[in-house]
Amino acid sequence: MQADEIKTVTNEAAEEKKMFSNSELSEIIRIAAQEGANVAIKHIRDERRKEKKQKKDRRLYNTKLLIRNYRSFKEYVNNAVFDEDETTEDALEAIEELMWEPRITSDMVVESIQRSMTRTKIIIKHIEHMIDVYSAICDKSKSDVKIRRKKVLYDMYISDIPHSKAEIADTYFIDKRTVYKDVEAACKELSVLLFGVDSIGE
């Protein structure tokens, strides 16, 4: 920029400044600062909502992972030929340590859980207890839909004898799409029990 152009811009800015009184300039500065603060606050809130949603989505994913692998965990424990190791960790510690790293794949989580028979037993016990709690909640609700959901989930992933989606659909007189929807809804509700109230979204 040429010296004359810089001088012209400076003069224009000075002229604009003369258009406002000191009190008006103070008000402009105050409003600008407030607007900047509002933008910053909105950004922080948006980031927190995004983080909370990601955590909720991750917990739902992990709930499905645990439920879908429940039978393999049981089989692993039942067929183990070595003594269990000692540990003082609780169920949530065992689960959270393994499952909050997004780069860890499903197979890696399952393999990691099965490296320790004690840890696998802790997780199985936690799943079984929360399944019982979920079942009691559904029964208490007296909702035919909720009661069916817990039965569909149990037949598909928990019962000793696996049932296909077609078999479940025939048993409860629903179509296969409803089987999928029931499992999805049941896992969302079960996620709150498995991981605590923090898994409830906004």
- 54-90 confidence digits (pLDDT tens): 566 778 888 998 999 999 888 888 876 555 555 555 6
pLDDT surpassing 60 at residue 187: yes
183 pLDDT exceeds 90? yes
Distance between CA atoms of residues 123 and 119, nearest Å: 6
Distance (Å, whole) CA 199 – CA 100: 13
Average pLDDT, stretch 76-105? Answer: 61
Predicted confidence band of residue 129 (pLDDT cuts 50, 70, 90): very high
Q: What is the mean pLDDT of residues 126-141?
A: 95
Q: pLDDT band at 149, cuts 50/70/90?
A: very high
- Which segments of the chain does DSSP mark as H helices, in order? 3-18, 22-68, 70-79, 91-99, 106-113, 117-141, 144-153, 165-171, 176-195
Q: Say how many residues make up the chain.
A: 202
* 134: pLDDT strictly greater than 60: yes
Question: What single-letter DSSP state applies at residue 20?
Answer: S
Q: How far, in whole angstroms, is CA 13 from its chain's centroid?
A: 52
Task: Write down the domain spans for the chain.
Answer: 3-48, 59-199
Q: Is 143 exposed, middle or buried (0-12, 13-18, 19+ CB in 10 A)?
A: exposed
Query: Which conformational region is residue 196 in: left (phi greater than 0), alpha (psi within -120 to 50 degrees), or beta?
Result: left
Residue 22: band (very low, low, confident or very high) from pLDDT cuts 50, 70, 90: confident
Are the C-beta atoms of 110 and 98 separated by less than 8 Å?
no
- Please give the pLDDT value at position 108: 65
Q: Predicted confidence band at 202 (pLDDT cuts at 50, 70, 90)?
A: very low
Q: How far apart are CA 162 and CA 196, in angstroms?
A: 28
Across the range 182-188, mean pLDDT stands at: 96
